[in-house]
Amino acid sequence: MKIVKSLLCTLVVSHLCCQKQNTNPSDKPGIPANLELVKQPVVTELNIPWGMAFLNESEVLIAEKSGDILLANVTTGTKKNIFKVPGAILFGQGGLMDIRLHPDFSKNKLIYFSYSKIADGQPTTALGRAKYSNEAISDFEEIFVANARSNSGVHFGSRIAFDGKGHLFLGLGDRGNMQQAQNTLNHMGCLLRLNEDGSVPADNPFVGKPDFLPEIWSYGHRNIQGLDFHPTTGKLWAHEHGPQGGDEINIIEPGNNYGWPLATYGEQYGGGTIGPPTYPGTVQPIHHWTPSIAPCGMAFLKSDKYPGLNGNLFIGSLVGQHLNMTRFLNHTLVSETRLFQGEGRIRNVVESPDGYIYFSDETNGILYKLLPVFKE
């Protein structure tokens, strides 16, 4: 299979603190001198591949924004459509978004989807699940519909993450109404924590509090499109889009207010202040980007397939059109490397069961494998 080599735009950023972050990196590489990273196309002719979930080392389920689920083989490059998510609609930025396997998938065969749908006459984000068996998906059920209804076509989120303790997290957006991210009587701009059947965990931080919906785990988010658990600390990390600048990475703690739009490093499109960078009672991001890269999808590298890069955080970039690789030390960014810059909008990043990074390019409709090439 053809391997596509590309110039790597490598950048390293050093930061003293969040407020002093500099988005003009130096030219020092974040990759070991004896290692080159190249991308290999493994599945082509995809239609806006939004989410991926590996069944094994070679088979992967791909969620296309249109609502279709494909079963693809990254070894042979073959693919076939096996399911269309009932009720999922293509509406602005909405459509079929994330797909995740249940942590006990090998036993229960459950897969989960996030998607936009019409509820009470308006689009919102919903969560469904179904069973996979013998190259087919069946027994679909919708288990949760967010109270994030709006006729706006933007900021549906959405990513799913499981904690392995009986809960899942669903990241949402503010639906284009920034003030609603501070209104905790709806789900706009919130990260939700649910039981695996879509019900509310009894120990959620706002259960029983009259001014909050009980599903809310954190709020004050603009548009969450990346979730993953840190491989060492076990903390949930999330990233979200800023407006014009101010994309953020946050470490999530229950009950926190992450500030949007009271505190932001971004500004109005075309210029104009939204809010100051800090605001009392809100939590600062550990990193932010200005200008925006529009982060999408994220995966911590847990394997040793890429020597020297274990623990790095891989993030797709839509506006920046690159695969972003960052390294943090004690929550401070110490290096940032931009791979394959300008070659396509990277929508999602996952680590396969055998430890390789795969990422989807929605511009060209390609699923890539990131290959390590060792120099003499």
Q: Which of 102, 155, 287, 288 is catalytic?
A: 155
Q: In the CATH scheme, what architecture does the domain 9-374 have?
A: 6 Propeller (2.120)
The first and second tokens of residue 314, run together, are 């891989």
Say if residues 204 and 196 touch (Cβ distance below 8 Å): no
Least confident among 19-23, 27-31, 99-103, 333-337: 19-23
pLDDT digits 0-9 by tens, 185-199: 999 999 999 999 999
pTM: predicted TM-score of the whole model, two decimal places: 0.93
Amino acid at residue number 193 = R
pLDDT at 6: 41
Q: Which residue has the tokens 């709006």?
A: 150
**DSSP string computed for 5-19:** ----EEEB---SSGG
Q: Which of 26-40, 229-243, 279-293 has the lowest mean pLDDT?
A: 26-40
Encoding tokens for residue 232?
């060492």
Per-residue pLDDT of 130-185, as tens digits, reads: 999 999 999 999 999 999 999 999 999 999 999 999 999 999 999 999 999 999 99
Q: Is the separation of the CB atoms in 13 and 340 below 8 Å?
A: no
Give CA–CA dist 194/360, Å, rounded. Answer: 27
Give catalytic status of residue 167 as yes or no: no
